[in-house]
Amino acid sequence: MAADVKMLFCVGLIVVLTGVGKSALIGKTHGSGGEDLVLQYVVNNSLREHPVLTKLRLRTLQDQWSIMMVSSDQAQFMANLIRLINATKAIEIGMYTGYNALSMALAMPENGRVVACEIQDSYINIAKPFFKEAGVQNKIDIQHQTAMKTLSKCLCISHSRRTHTKRRRTVVTTSCLDCDGKVVNPAPSDQTSQSLDALNKKLHKDQRIDLSMLTVGDGLTLAIKR
């Protein structure tokens, strides 16, 4: 079992979206949470951002959909999880411009590998130069296709949330990018929030795991296999 934990991020550990968004105490550092004094204190006294991550974050903020980027403090939290269990493999669904994929790759040892799924050419083209500049291009395997064609096990999910229940295995770490707190009371027409809410409730009832919800960034659910 110990060997499996070292190979996969994270066998026996599940981190899933809560979609807390604005309903959380804080939120994203580059979203509405940026005005929160507590969040700014946390960032000022804990964030240790690699110089290339800083460059990529600033570049991503120029994009009209930059709110999709994982919050810097949340990315650091997930990177520290990788270091904690000495993970060498991760899969991210919905790479966007690659901020979180780069953060995970930087946290992994030389034999680490991040499989990053992304269907948009423009986002991939933004990410690649930063991966190369950080010297981790060999650690990041960009899959330019839908995630369902790539995955047999899900470790990081950002998009295609309606597949969560079907694909819940091993570990998932991610940020909630578009629920904006709607998961608290999903509208009948909001299939994304409904799916996310259903997953959270399913995890809550699952007696095979120990569970905690965290309000870092847009929210994370930490579940540890018993």
Radius of gyration of the CA atoms of the chain, in A: 16
pLDDT digits (tens, 9 = 90+) for 107-132: 999 999 999 999 999 999 999 999 99
User: Which helix (DSSP H) or strand (DSSP E) does residue 124 occupy?
Assistant: helix 121-133
What is the pairing mode between strands 220-225 and 13-17? Answer: antiparallel
Q: All domains of the chain, ordered by start, with CATH?
A: 25-162 (3.40.50.150), 165-225 (no CATH)
Mean pLDDT across 2-9:
43
pLDDT tens digits, residue range 133-178? Answer: 999 999 999 998 776 776 654 445 444 444 554 544 445 544 443 4
Q: For the chain, what percentages of helix, strand and coil (3-state, to nearest 5) are there?
A: 45, 15, 40
3-state secondary structure of 33: helix
Q: By three-state DSSP, how is residue 219 classified?
A: coil
Q: pTM for the full model?
A: 0.74
Task: State yes or no: pLDDT of 208 exceeds 50.
Answer: yes
| Residue closest to 18 by CA, chosen among 226, 209, 202, 208 | 202
For the chain, how long is the longest CA-to-CA vector? 46
What's the pLDDT at 49?
95
The DSSP element (H or E) to which 115 belongs, if any, is: strand 113-117
Contact 17, 218 (CB under 8 A): yes
Strand arrangement, sheet containing 156-157: 140-143, 113-117, 89-93, 156-157
E strand or H helix that includes residue 186: none
Q: Which two tokens stand for residue 160?
A: 């295609």
